[in-house]
Structure 1
């Protein structure tokens, strides 16, 4: 079956909405490539729909994208169960800060049911009325309020309580890069909270810790060993940026692949380190 050809009017109406629709899909799925695929499928369905039957294009498309994401999550959950090592969402650089959906919050969303995630994101993050949420996920408005309330309770702890100012956070990220690559463990240890956690996602494609590491002593032990490799093989800083709302940096490692490191910071101390090494999740950064 041939895909319908877009008219100038259809493109003009859709294209301004595409970035926001991709953000909705990415929040649901945690994958940039999957989000783009879902939005493209929504675009095809938009072209097949009678314009006269659509009073609010953005609401129609947001509903379509969310339903496609819910379908996608059924298969995605099975893939996560067989994933090698910790799973982290794809890194996205310099997102709109006002949405306040940081990497820890996205990980908290992973623990919700798909319907809870949809209700929370649509209402609390993207500002949709509960009537629209109800129509989108095929539940009544009262049920949607309960879903969003349950989600809110689960993710409350993941919201930044003592968020670091952006430029200060990027300065700490720069200092973390320099200390970790040079092997200055005294400087690195001074940045870490005693209960710091480190998560690394290699997806079975590149070496990475297969379980999260907890506590500054173990995190420092790992970085002491890594610093030897960095000095021998090299690790080039590409840029310091916000990564999924957290201060961090992008590097090119000895194997030629990119890597991202995002830092969760509270009270001037790093409480969590999130390293993305899976090359499949870094393709969009190239």
Structure 2
């Protein structure tokens, strides 16, 4: 399915993109979704891309419950299209009845999760952690801003982590942390030896004070590679769209990495191309110009 693009001009490459079936992978927040919704133009364009035989899927920091609304609009319940959640730590597909079949996962083991939680509580860092059961999340407090906000996203039941971390029944998949800059400095120093993957949180404007933490070596590119293998898709035939720090690895790994127009310059530097902003339906513009027949 792949093509070798080295030393060909951009116009030739665009012609190849037009006529080869592609795996189109999209970040959600700031890429497909603006102000909590996808535009009709984006939805219709991606459905047309599917109709023409291309694979359309998602790679996001969200968990499966947070993905569901977008997945329904894009009709991803064919029981075979891998979806990448939790920054690459979770790969699954939606069955026709919208139940989930997990294909691959990479949790944070207890010997790293416990010191992470202890450091967060010691430094007054709030956290919400996704577990390997989408029905449950771990929290520092059940009724603070972060917990309430995330409950609106996940609709999951919350389990308050005990100080001795003795009630960790489920595996930790991803941890979202929120705190003041001063507290974060000490917290980050304490968890540095754990060598975990840390990203800016895509829901907020100040990612340095709001972080997503995954298992060592986990990023969206890892999850996308698993998905591409399941479909027997060559790396060169993967096109990835994103706008944030947790998109960098995927933008670099994909055969074509497309950054959104509003992405910071340090994100755009890792992409092959840049499209218009999410407000301007940048995804639809690029797919129409480069993929649709």
**TM-score w.r.t. structure 2 length?**
0.28
Question: Bigger relative contact order, structure 1 or 2, given CA contacts below 8 A and separation 6+?
Answer: 2
Q: Whose strand proportion is higher, 1 or 2?
A: 2
**TM-score w.r.t. structure 1 length?**
0.28
